[in-house]
Structure 1
Amino acid sequence: MYGMRAALFDHFGPPDVLRIAEVPDPEPQAGEVRVRVRAAGVQPFDVGVRRGDMTWLDLSFPQTIGQEYSGVVDRLGPDTEGLAVGDPVLGSTMLNGYAELVCVPAKNVVRKPDRLDFPTAAALVAASQTASGALLELGVTEGDVLLVHAAAGSVGTVAVQLARLAGATVIGTASPANHAYLRQLGAVPVAYGESLIDAVRPHQPTVALDAAGGAAIAQSVALGIPRQRIGTIVDDKAAAEHGTLVVRAGRNPQRLAEVIALAAKGAVTMPVRAYPLSDVVAAHAAVESRHGRGKVVLIVEPGKS
């Protein structure tokens, strides 16, 4: 029986291959909860899935999509403990987050604090886990000078704030339009381009996180940052070429919960660019453009937060 709305696509291609359709309501299995989704994050990984770049994934058309959600538990599977119907939650899922309902293992669910709205909670899911894991792998601590490439994006936004909370100085690269935003986060802004190295060198960076790709790793090496302290989340090829790290940390509900707790206190923020689920094509186009700050989020139930 068809019931819920979900975004899906029937073949690889540009954003307009995405469509909204009615699909069967999922039912939670043992150890799972079903969540009525209120907001779903849109990330570059989703763009790659839609384009067919993620060749290792086992996809089947029509294919649903989406990795991050926030919402309210509306059904419990057998043998599920620790959560109740009505609990506000958030977390990671796999290729099914752009939907009205999603079933997820209860052990992977993070409770949403009352002070955090649903769109912001969804916006923080992937960025929190990626940024916190990358900083952990790179050993960023008090006294470090961290260079963040693409600091105004979702991962960069969280990385800047977590590094500042750890006592590091942060240099953030971004387009000039986002420099005031980076200053608000506590970073020293630097523009992309050929002048980047000269602008950053006086700050003597000790560690670098690349969320931009392109020339970022080569520039970090040229700045004299030790190769074992240069990490990328986007450019495996350049990392291999220069002997630097890929810091694509896995999902970790505990790390996510820690950042969410900081967000509830106002210590970590995330600007949200919201689109209704019906505008999924526009949302994907916005992410694919690689412009803008913060996070693109789909609002599954418009008018609520």
Structure 2
Amino acid sequence: MPKAYVFTRNGGPEVEALAEQEVPVPGPGELLVAVRAAGVNPVDWKLRTGYTRPGSAPQPLPTVFGSEAAGVVEGVGPDVEGFTVGDEVFGNPVTGGYAEYTLLPVAVTAHKPAALSFTDAAVLPVAAATAYDGVRQLAPAPGSTLLVTGAGGGVGTAAVQLARHVGARVVGVASADKKDFVESLGAVHVGSGDGLADRVRAAAPDGIDAIFDLVGGDTLRAVAPLLADPAALVSAGGKPLAVELGGTAVARARTAAVLDEVANLVVTRVLRTHVTGTFPLDEAGAALRAVEDGHTRGKIVIEVAA
């Protein structure tokens, strides 16, 4: 039977396992997809610990990991238009991406351009799309200064590039070991940790016009007061705290149209995916540890053999 990487109960890495599962059956508006690649995101391990997305019910156990995937359509459910068996697609799975087979809802599934690899396509539905939504929401003006916390991670890497593309100056907060990487994206690096606000002031003496927060916590508390207008704070890392500080959460579009747009940005080389590590499905645990440890640059991908 096909394999999938699951968590059997809430907890730490000890609840993870490679398991066999039946091939899922697509329902109305769904595609059965043979997975070729799945992106790894912090939300994956957070869900394992018992975290529940706002407005969502707890997931039934065991649960297959993975919030973004790319692959080939193997079956089409009722009421599906625009897709057929053999199409290469990517999107947000409803039955987990760390698997040989998954289901993708057509509402958040896009056709993969031929010029885009499965590996690159698999990192777009969560990380790149979140960055796209956040930068579009902030709408930084050319010449303005945007502060991005967590600039070396998957969402941050994309956010820096997208903001630079529209002409904004970007100050990127990341650990010291990511300095060269963040600067290679076109941002001014500022090290995280104690004294952060003073370092940001030194890096941006004319002030910060907007903040795209991907970290939350003490980092967000340190930099939020640097804004003249608290409403110019958007967060995907500390949403309740951002609201408390006068900002807002990223308004996720979650549409196929956004996926088409970010794919086009990669194909036209406006956006680089910066996949820095790949793992086979039977090493999914190691892939997840690389992200859970918090030291990853760019994106990690699980590649599934055809």
- Aligned counterparts of 2:232 and 2:216: Cα–Cα separation in 1: 16
1:254 and 2:227 are equivalent in the alignment: no
Matches within 5 A, 1:172-183: 172-183=172-183
C-alpha contact (below 8 Å) 2:95/2:103 kept by paired residues: no
C-alpha contact (below 8 Å) 2:164/2:186 kept by paired residues: yes
Deviation of the 1:194 alpha carbon: 2.8
Q: The residue matched to 1:209 in structure 2 has which SS? A: strand
Matches within 5 A, 1:27-176: 27-54=25-52, 56-176=56-176
Could you list the runs of 4 or more consecutive aligned residues of structure 1 that deviate by over 3 angstroms after TM superposition?
none
C-alpha contact (below 8 Å) 1:65/1:96 kept by paired residues: yes
C-alpha contact (below 8 Å) 2:109/2:259 kept by paired residues: no
Q: The residue matched to 1:254 in structure 2 has which SS? A: helix
1:268 and 2:268 are equivalent in the alignment: no
1:230 and 2:233 are equivalent in the alignment: yes
C-alpha contact (below 8 Å) 1:32/1:105 kept by paired residues: yes
Unaligned runs of 5+ residues in structure 2 are none
C-alpha contact (below 8 Å) 1:15/1:282 kept by paired residues: no
Q: The residue matched to 2:11 in structure 1 has which SS? A: coil
- Give the equivalent residue in structure 2 for 1:6: 4
C-alpha contact (below 8 Å) 2:193/2:219 kept by paired residues: no
**Aligned AA (1:204):** G
User: How many pairs does the alignment contain?
Assistant: 300
Q: The residue matched to 2:2 in structure 1 has which SS? A: strand
- Aligned counterparts of 1:239 and 1:30: Cα–Cα separation in 2: 37
Indicate how the Cα distance of structure 1 residues 68 and 169 shifts in structure 2: closer, same or farther if over 3 A, else same. Answer: same
- Aligned counterparts of 2:237 and 2:251: Cα–Cα separation in 1: 8
1:244 and 2:247 are equivalent in the alignment: yes
Deviation of the 1:300 alpha carbon: 1.5
**Aligned AA (2:62):** P
Indicate how the Cα distance of structure 1 residues 93 and 225 shifts in structure 2: closer, same or farther if over 3 A, else same. Answer: farther
Deviation of the 1:200 alpha carbon: 2.0
C-alpha contact (below 8 Å) 2:233/2:246 kept by paired residues: no
Unaligned runs of 5+ residues in structure 1 are none
Deviation of the 1:65 alpha carbon: 2.5
**Aligned AA (1:231):** V
- Aligned counterparts of 1:85 and 1:212: Cα–Cα separation in 2: 40
- Aligned counterparts of 1:102 and 1:298: Cα–Cα separation in 2: 14
Indicate how the Cα distance of structure 1 residues 31 and 94 shifts in structure 2: closer, same or farther if over 3 A, else same. Answer: closer
The Cα offsets for residues 19-44 of structure 1, whole Å up to 9 and x where unpaired, read as 11111111223332211100111111
> Greater CA deviation, 268-277 or 214-223?
214-223
- Aligned counterparts of 1:227 and 1:214: Cα–Cα separation in 2: 16
Indicate how the Cα distance of structure 1 residues 95 and 66 shifts in structure 2: closer, same or farther if over 3 A, else same. Answer: farther
Q: 1:292 aligns with which of 278, 290, 296?
A: 296
* Identity, % of aligned positions: 38
1:219 and 2:222 are equivalent in the alignment: yes
> Greater CA deviation, 22-31 or 63-72?
22-31
Indicate how the Cα distance of structure 1 residues 52 and 95 shifts in structure 2: closer, same or farther if over 3 A, else same. Answer: farther
Deviation of the 1:129 alpha carbon: 1.7
Indicate how the Cα distance of structure 1 residues 284 and 225 shifts in structure 2: closer, same or farther if over 3 A, else same. Answer: farther
> Greater CA deviation, 289-298 or 107-116?
107-116
- Aligned counterparts of 2:30 and 2:79: Cα–Cα separation in 1: 8
The Cα offsets for residues 155-207 of structure 1, whole Å up to 9 and x where unpaired, read as 00111111111111111011122111112211111111233322322152100
> Greater CA deviation, 95-104 or 153-162?
95-104
- Aligned counterparts of 2:14 and 2:40: Cα–Cα separation in 1: 15
- Aligned counterparts of 1:258 and 1:60: Cα–Cα separation in 2: 33
Deviation of the 1:57 alpha carbon: 2.8
- Aligned counterparts of 1:126 and 1:224: Cα–Cα separation in 2: 27
- Aligned counterparts of 1:215 and 1:21: Cα–Cα separation in 2: 38
Q: The residue matched to 1:147 in structure 2 has which SS? A: strand
- Aligned counterparts of 2:241 and 2:106: Cα–Cα separation in 1: 38
- Aligned counterparts of 2:108 and 2:194: Cα–Cα separation in 1: 43
C-alpha contact (below 8 Å) 2:93/2:105 kept by paired residues: no
C-alpha contact (below 8 Å) 2:150/2:173 kept by paired residues: yes
C-alpha contact (below 8 Å) 2:133/2:250 kept by paired residues: yes
